A and B are shown apart, each in its own frame.
Chain A
Amino acid sequence: MIQAALNFKRPGILLSGLLVFILIPFPVMASDCLLIDILSGLTLESTQNTLPGQNFFAETDISYSPLIKEKKRSDNDNFNSFLDIMNGGARIQWGNEKLRSRTSYKYNKYEGAVRIDSTRYSTCSYMKSHRLETSLWLAARQLNTGILLGAIFPDDSEMKLKTFEKKRFSVLGNLYSGLYANAMLSPFTFRVNLEKQPLITGTTKLIKNSRTESYRTFPLVLYSYRAGTGADFKAENIILSLDFSADAIRSNPENELKSSMPVDLGMNLYRVRHSGTTALKRSNLNWSTEASLGGGLCEGYTKNTDGMNFFLADSIRLQTVNVSCGIKDNMKFEFKGHGSLFSLHSPTGFLNLAPFSEWTIFQPVNYRFYNASFLYSDIGCTASKAFIYNNYTFILELGIRYFTVSVECGIKKRETVILFPRYEDLGKKQLMDVNGLFFTPRISVPLKIFTTNFSLELDGVIPILFKGKKSKNETTNGSEEKKNLDTGDLTGGIRMGMHLDIPLMLKH
């Protein structure tokens, strides 16, 4: 895989792939496919910890995004990069002054593949699940308390939890839950929540380019255990909110697949978020900042977690910062500026390729890496304007975002001196150094038929990658050799998505 990354010629696809592989644990919406938007799955914004309204309300939505479909390069090309996302769901809420409830069903399908030209292998990831959850709130004058109960069912024929295989399926094994409390002391609202939420039940496959079936499968089941608190402040012309949370993200090793190599991930994450809105003379000013800091480790095993530990990224440090600020005027014009930083760093780890080939008995292939880092940053702005034509409203939006992605690490390779193993330092390698622009045009058309609101949206991402950036490979003697990373041409990457939201208002 290291070699694959070194030889990769199409960073656009790789970039998309990184979105798939690195950030698959987080919920993805069709309109949020850029890296930092995927990270928004980690956001502290939540609809779960708010008190449902009193009205009887039902809504449904569905979105499908065939985001990337790479062109065939030859007649024998049977496997190409692609990115498909489909989300759907329905919610019903009802309530009275004392008791309120919200019940929802969600379906998430997330499929992505990265075809690597210069090697014999490709990767493909799947995350498909059904979720059913319901929350019940008891509303008092100043104190509201709620409870959430949900279950997740992976929709993956290959993903069989051990509990399924043993035919003693226990709902408890797939349940998640939450406890919420809101105290309203005007002008403040204080919130507290405790949750166990599923982040992912997905699999990533390694596939030979000459075939379509899986060669190795890496299943991952992640849950987040979260304790959070927050406060809102509402005054005449201003709304402010501040949230804190501590998450313990843990993988569930209770899965087993044919030729599977389970991944174990453990991470603690601490986050803070502040947002606000204030009314100006003819417009509203919105802003938000969010930062997170986390640490943990990621391990890969053969067969099961009692098997050989073939991969370890230890002492991972994750840092994210998102900042945005926007203004929306009364003429339905909106402008927003935003910037993001995502950094992942692992000071040490190893990779033993023995589980991938019996032939390594003749020449064991063991690597250690140090100071591995993944860094993504972007800065951009978005402008949108609503137009009315023939009683139809059209909202046109155009976003532009400059981004940089870099991946580098130091590598040591094991050698055997007669009968003694030693690791030779191969120096620091820059595996990826890409920058470019994303243009994100979008058009949406809100419609109202009788009492039903529809919203049709079409959006896309047009990436432009800048070529010719020099990368540096530092050798063990401290010298730096410069090599020109052939970033190649981007043959995929144009994204098209369509959203269809159908909120239904049922009269109480």
Chain B
Amino acid sequence: MTHISRLFLTCIFAACLVVFQSCFPTKSEDENEDEGYKEQKDPTEITSDPEDLPENGDPDADVSSNGIDSMFSLLVKRVETLEEAEDHNDFFNKDFESLRKGFATAVSQKPDNEKANIGYIVSAVCALNTSNSLKMAIDSMDAYIKAVDEYYYEDPEYVDYYVKNRTDILAKRKSRNSKKSSLAKTNAVFSSTSKNIFAKSFQKFGIQGLGRVLLAESPKILVAQTKKPSFPAFITINFIQGIVEDDIIPRLNEVVSACKRLESNNVSINLNAFDENFELDVGDIYMFEAGIRLVRAALGFFITYDMDLYSPDGSSTIKWIDNLYDNYTEGRCVYRLKGDTLHEIWVYDVTKYTEPLCDVMQYNLKRSGFLCIRRENHEAVYEDLLAVPQLVKTGIESIKSESDDQEDDLITGGGIFDFEEDMADFSTGMIEEGFSSDLAKHFKSPGSLMDFITDILTNEYTFSETIDGYDITMTVNLSNWFTNPVEDLRTLYPKHRLLKGDDRYVSMTSVRDKYSTDDNSFYVYENDVIDIPESKIASITNDEWGNKEVILNNYFSYCIVIDSTVSCMSYSLVDDDGNDITFEMIEEIFNDQQALEKYFPYFNDYTINGLFPKMEDRSDWIDFCSRFYD
């Protein structure tokens, strides 16, 4: 199986893992009683009605023509000052809310006033800085990230771990034959610096040297003793979804309504900002609205499903993150000699690290409501997605039809679209890359691309291309995802069972690298194990940093690097009869076509809720994946 096919299969599985995050047993053995979950399926209010005028305006605002001009000038000045902002606090400290209220009053009294609507759009977007929740979340995350950086980068153990694992793993082993002396010594210097620094300083410089080192290292030691930073407890996915729902989407609704009003009035206005005179046309507004609708669609989808990862004690905080780094276990290497092959076995025990994650995953997989619909936003999201290509197309047509001077336009148009060839000729480039002309023709121009996007959003589309010699044919129906939404995303995941007790601890072995060589020596570090009979070892010498160079009696011709990891797993895939499909079996799929048939995961719905309507059963996926084997 080639790299490309492995990559493709990996992508499929990875996509499943990432998108659906986790799984749920087909028949759960012990579902949690969920106390915190309350079914909330009402859709979020996502609107695009130009008649929706802002209500919470400033009743004292001067909405005369001069008043709007004055507010607009002030708005421009405040936006210009954002250029000097050094961090998010500078943004949050600017007052855009009063301007937004002023423009809201102006818009509600004069819905057709172009300047008032544009001012309202800009001030409404900028006034997101009034969201206390958003500010609190950003402040807290900012402080947390800084604290984590400060803590872990100053921790001598972390420095040691970082240097050893990053530098040694990359360079130490494989390169030893060609450049082993210099590299190994360099690595040895780094890896042993912090641990041996006190001993070496004492040996070389006596008590005075040790004193100096202690003085230099004391800040790090003090930092290491301080309390480690905790993740802000209030920041949960539900909290972020709340910000989106309460603070962002309503503002975007108002912006879209203002765009609609400007479009219906066929806006064309000359403005000045950042010392630039520019013209804002209706085409610019169409394109802007398309961008806003796209963002709103993404946010609408984000708040559709319950994705909170509760702690195993039932609290909705993510405090389990705090302990993840502390549980990391350093790996060691075991050397064995089999015939003329040196086995370099990297042994990792990551159970301490993965156990808390497993607990979190298992708890949430059993939690009712997890990955279920919390807001029925599919229809509104779909509507926004369908609107985007139409808006772009209308925008392009509008920009194309402009006949005035284009030099100061926000988006330049006019006669420039009459050229027959485009510099960024995606279409030709795709054909040169091997894609079919049928697919490439959709990328000939932005307009044709928008038609194509509309087509695949509304109809079944069969992708049939030969890429790198592989025939890839797949029918997708994106509309099914939105018109017939999945109530529980866990139902889409492969069949599996949750692991309990000792079953959770799984050992996995894989060959990382194999290469030919012609050497009789290797370097060994502090925690490494030499599992080679003494009779085969000529000598073991210590270098100045306390590491060992092992010289064998005979030369070895090959070196195999093997990873052996013990980890904690939350579930195991199962077949229709409930038999386990282990990690090794899954890995075998990538190398052996027979294994594909045997171990390809079993699903309840092979069409993934109609997203791939032609993939009706397991054999369809096996047929599809079989094409990637040589």
User: Which of B122, B414, B446 lies in contact with A420, CB distance below 8 A?
Assistant: B122
Give the chain A neighbours of B392 by CB distance below 8 A.
361
- Is the CB–CB distance between A423 and B274 below 8 Å? yes
User: Which of A215, A309, A362 lies in contact with B423, CB distance below 8 A?
Assistant: A215
Q: A307-B415, A364-B410 are in contact. Are A418 and B126 (CB under 8 A)?
A: yes
- Give min CB distance, B91 to chain A, whole Å: 12
User: Which of A259, A356, A422 lies in contact with B83, CB distance below 8 A?
Assistant: A422
- Is the CB–CB distance between A302 and B415 below 8 Å? yes
Quick one: closest B residue to A312, CB to CB?
B407
Bound form: Cα–Cα A427–B34 in Å = 58
Give the chain B neighbours of A421 by CB distance below 8 A.
273-274, 276, 278, 410
User: Which of A303, A364, A416, A418 lies in contact with B412, CB distance below 8 A?
Assistant: A364
Interface string of B390-429 (1 = CB under 8 A from A): 0010011001000001110011111111111111111010
Q: A259-B421, A309-B407 are in contact. Are A419 and B416 (CB under 8 A)?
A: no
- Is the CB–CB distance between A259 and B419 below 8 Å? yes
- Is the CB–CB distance between B412 and A420 below 8 Å? no
A357 beta carbon closer than 8 Å to chain B: yes
Interface string of A83-121 (1 = CB under 8 A from B): 000000000000000000000000000000000000001
Give the chain B neighbours of A302 by CB distance below 8 A.
414-416, 419
Quick one: closest A residue to B291, CB to CB?
A362
Give the chain B neighbours of A358 by CB distance below 8 A.
396, 416-417, 422, 445-446
B82 beta carbon closer than 8 Å to chain A: yes
- Give min CB distance, A356 to chain B, whole Å: 4
- Give min CB distance, B445 to chain A, whole Å: 6
Give the chain B neighbours of A308 by CB distance below 8 A.
405-407, 412, 414-416
- Give min CB distance, B290 to chain A, whole Å: 9
A354 beta carbon closer than 8 Å to chain B: yes
Interface string of B458-489 (1 = CB under 8 A from A): 00000000000000000000000000000000
Bound form: Cα–Cα A356–B83 in Å = 30
Interface string of A337-377 (1 = CB under 8 A from B): 00000000000000011111111111010100000000000
Give the chain B neighbours of A303 by CB distance below 8 A.
415, 418
Chain B, range 327-348, C-beta contacts under 8 Å to A: none
Quick one: closest A residue to B283, CB to CB?
A361
Q: A361-B399, A419-B280 are in contact. Are A355 and B416 (CB under 8 A)?
A: yes
Interface string of A286-325 (1 = CB under 8 A from B): 0000000000000000110001111000000000000000
Bound form: Cα–Cα A359–B413 in Å = 11
- Is the CB–CB distance between A419 and B122 below 8 Å? yes
Quick one: closest A residue to B83, CB to CB?
A422
Give the chain A neighbours of B414 by CB distance below 8 A.
302, 307-308
- Find the residue from B122, B413, B415 having the highest chain A CB count within 10 A: B415
B306 beta carbon closer than 8 Å to chain A: no
Give the chain A neighbours of B426 by CB distance below 8 A.
359
Q: A308-B406, A416-B410, A419-B122 are in contact. Are A357 and B424 (CB under 8 A)?
A: yes
- Is the CB–CB distance between B416 and A359 below 8 Å? no
Chain B, range 272-331, C-beta contacts under 8 Å to A: 273-274, 276, 278, 280, 284, 287-288
Bound form: Cα–Cα A309–B407 in Å = 7
Give the chain B neighbours of A356 by CB distance below 8 A.
422-423
- Is the CB–CB distance between A216 and B419 below 8 Å? yes
A50 beta carbon closer than 8 Å to chain B: no
Bound form: Cα–Cα A420–B418 in Å = 27
Quick one: closest A residue to B399, CB to CB?
A361
- Is the CB–CB distance between B421 and A420 below 8 Å? no
Bound form: Cα–Cα A210–B412 in Å = 28
- Is the CB–CB distance between A352 and B407 below 8 Å? yes
Bound form: Cα–Cα A366–B274 in Å = 15
- Is the CB–CB distance between B288 and A419 below 8 Å? yes
User: Which of B76, B121, B411, B418 lies in contact with A361, CB distance below 8 A?
Assistant: B411
- Give min CB distance, B206 to chain A, whole Å: 44
- Is the CB–CB distance between A355 and B419 below 8 Å? yes
Bound form: Cα–Cα A419–B280 in Å = 8
Give the chain B neighbours of A361 by CB distance below 8 A.
287, 392, 395-396, 399, 411, 413, 446
Bound form: Cα–Cα A354–B597 in Å = 53
The main secondary structure of chain A at its interface with chain B is: mixed
Give the chain B neighbours of A359 by CB distance below 8 A.
422, 424, 426, 446
Give the chain A neighbours of B1 by CB distance below 8 A.
none
Quick one: closest A residue to B406, CB to CB?
A308
Interface string of B241-281 (1 = CB under 8 A from A): 00000000000000000000000000000010110101010
- Is the CB–CB distance between A362 and B446 below 8 Å? yes
Bound form: Cα–Cα A301–B336 in Å = 73
B79 beta carbon closer than 8 Å to chain A: yes
B562 beta carbon closer than 8 Å to chain A: no
Quick one: closest A residue to B273, CB to CB?
A420
- Give min CB distance, A212 to chain B, whole Å: 13
Give the chain B neighbours of A2 by CB distance below 8 A.
none
Bound form: Cα–Cα A421–B422 in Å = 25
- Is the CB–CB distance between B446 and A417 below 8 Å? no
- Is the CB–CB distance between A354 and B422 below 8 Å? no
B116 beta carbon closer than 8 Å to chain A: no
B125 beta carbon closer than 8 Å to chain A: yes
Give the chain A neighbours of B82 by CB distance below 8 A.
417
Bound form: Cα–Cα A356–B121 in Å = 31
Give the chain A neighbours of B421 by CB distance below 8 A.
215-216, 259
- Give min CB distance, A189 to chain B, whole Å: 52
Interface string of B192-213 (1 = CB under 8 A from A): 0000000000000000000000
Bound form: Cα–Cα A3–B417 in Å = 23
Bound form: Cα–Cα A419–B415 in Å = 23
Bound form: Cα–Cα A427–B292 in Å = 31
Bound form: Cα–Cα A416–B276 in Å = 12
Bound form: Cα–Cα A310–B405 in Å = 11
Bound form: Cα–Cα A197–B126 in Å = 59
B432 beta carbon closer than 8 Å to chain A: yes
- Is the CB–CB distance between B420 and A259 below 8 Å? yes
- Give min CB distance, B158 to chain A, whole Å: 31
B118 beta carbon closer than 8 Å to chain A: yes
- Find the residue from B79, B410, B414, B423 having the highest chain A CB count within 10 A: B423
Bound form: Cα–Cα A337–B470 in Å = 67
Give the chain A neighbours of B83 by CB distance below 8 A.
422
Bound form: Cα–Cα A417–B454 in Å = 28
Chain B, range 113-164, C-beta contacts under 8 Å to A: 118, 121-122, 125-126
Bound form: Cα–Cα A186–B527 in Å = 104
Bound form: Cα–Cα A359–B287 in Å = 12
Give the chain A neighbours of B445 by CB distance below 8 A.
358
User: Which of A121, A355, A418, A423 lies in contact with B121, CB distance below 8 A?
Assistant: A418
Give the chain B neighbours of A357 by CB distance below 8 A.
422-424
Give the chain A neighbours of B126 by CB distance below 8 A.
418
Quick one: closest B residue to A260, CB to CB?
B419
- Is the CB–CB distance between A422 and B412 below 8 Å? no
Quick one: closest B residue to A215, CB to CB?
B421
Given contacts A361-B396, A418-B126, 10 further A-B contacts (CB under 8 A): A308-B406, A308-B407, A354-B412, A361-B413, A417-B82, A417-B273, A419-B410, A421-B276, A421-B410, A423-B274
- 21 A-B pairs within 8 Å (CB atoms) are namely A210-B428, A259-B420, A259-B421, A302-B415, A302-B416, A353-B423, A358-B417, A359-B424, A361-B287, A361-B396, A361-B399, A361-B413, A362-B287, A364-B411, A366-B412, A418-B125, A418-B126, A419-B280, A421-B274, A421-B278, A422-B83
Q: Closest 7 A-B residue pairs measured CB to CB?
A: A354-B412, A420-B273, A422-B274, A356-B423, A355-B416, A357-B423, A357-B424
Q: Interface of A with B (CB < 8 Å)?
A: 121, 208, 210, 215-216, 259, 302-303, 307-310, 352-362, 364, 366, 416-423
